[in-house]
Structure 1
Amino acid sequence: MSGAPSVLDAAFAALADPTRREILSILAQGDATVSELAAPFSMSLPAVSKHLKVLEVSGLISRSRNAQFRPCHLERAALDDVADWVDEHRRVWDERLDKLDEHLKNLQRREEGADGN
């Protein structure tokens, strides 16, 4: 998995922008053209195209050619990779926090026991 960190870096960088997250939400409903994706935003088509380029380079979307249209498509597998990374790190931190919680409870019980003597 040598290329994975750079893929994840690109995906997280793309997801850092609220406009790009909204574009992904729209694409979760189905493929859309640049014009359709631009409609909810008060920005130019070139500005939306720049966001789409970032999403495409990150692997989160792909674009195909259908006559004169280039519909955008959400690449769910790329989002699954991001979700898997988050889930794995959440699991690790949950385990660490559970151990810390248990340790603090043990310390508290010891202190309560020492105060009782």
Structure 2
Amino acid sequence: QAFGEGFATMVKSDLVEDPAAVMSSWKDGSVVQSWLLDLLAIAFKSDPTLQSMPPVANESGEAKWMIEAALELGVPTPATAAALYARQTSRGGADDILRVVSTMRAQFGGHVTKIDEIATH
């Protein structure tokens, strides 16, 4: 999840010309080096923008099981829960939720929702 968010931020940034190269460089001597970054570096070689991959993250049920077990044991798991919610949101189905949130924001604060505009404040 964190690598994906970092990649998306670099893609949107004017400061980074080659997000794939930046992420690939992390695997060599960075504090975030990992096997997962090695796998990403392989993927970036064949598709530097990852556009061939659908923007959907399926779930196997393991994260949900882990969160349920952690709740029963009183162990906080906010990062795992956020990652699970991101996977669920990627499949769609959150449109009604987001419509309600946007409607409430418009009603209580006059917030205008604009499609394809990133909030900067």
* TM-score by shorter chain over 0.5: no
Q: Which has the higher helix share?
A: 1
